[in-house]
């Protein structure tokens, strides 16, 4: 989905199961964009948890940090996967892509 949205995954690989990451791994990669989408969380829960992480030093390099509804837009097969790709594309290229549905993704930084 990241590649389809025009991004380059730095902490994941296509076709490889997700895994638990250490904050140090995130810091080493210094991603420009971070999308926080914990499994089973709706957007409101992801935003609340994500805001609590904004002080984590490993996230300091990211110019943009978002929370997303992972269950509805990223984890289930179906038409909403396209909406998820569009949300990622907007997060990666905000000046080139129209804003997605507000219930899909939200910036954690003003």
DSSP 42-106: -HHHHHHHHHHTTT-GGGTT-SEEEEE-HHHHTSS-STHHHHHHHHHHHHH-TTTS----TTTEE
Give the model confidence (pLDDT) of 80-104 as tens digits. 899 999 999 999 999 999 999 899 9
What is this structure's pTM? 0.89
Residue 37: is its pLDDT beyond 80?
A: yes
If phi > 0 it is left, if psi is from -120 to 50 it is alpha, else beta; for residue 69 that is beta
Locate tokens 């939200």: which residue?
106
Q: What's the mean pLDDT in 18-30?
A: 91
Query: Could you say which DSSP state residue 27 is in?
Result: H
pLDDT the model gives residue 66: 96
pLDDT the model gives residue 104: 93
Quick one: which of 87, 81, 91 has its CA closest to 101? 87
Percent of the chain with pLDDT over 70: 100
Residue 110: is its pLDDT beyond 80?
A: no
CA distances for 105 relative to 22, 46, 60, 78, 110, angstroms: 24, 9, 20, 18, 14
């Amino acid at each position: 989905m990241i590649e389809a949205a025009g991004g380059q995954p730095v902490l994941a690989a296509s076709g490889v199961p997700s895994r638990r990451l250490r904050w140090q791994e995130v810091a080493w990669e210094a991603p420009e964009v971070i999308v926080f989408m914990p499994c089973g969380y709706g957007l409101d829960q992801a935003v609340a948890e994500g805001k609590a992480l904004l002080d984590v030093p490993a996230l300091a390099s990211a110019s943009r940090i978002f929370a997303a509804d992972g269950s509805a837009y990223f984890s289930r097969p179906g038409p909403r996967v396209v909406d998820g790709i569009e949300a990622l594309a907007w997060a990666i290229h905000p000046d080139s892509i129209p804003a997605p549905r507000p219930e899909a993704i939200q910036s954690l930084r003003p």
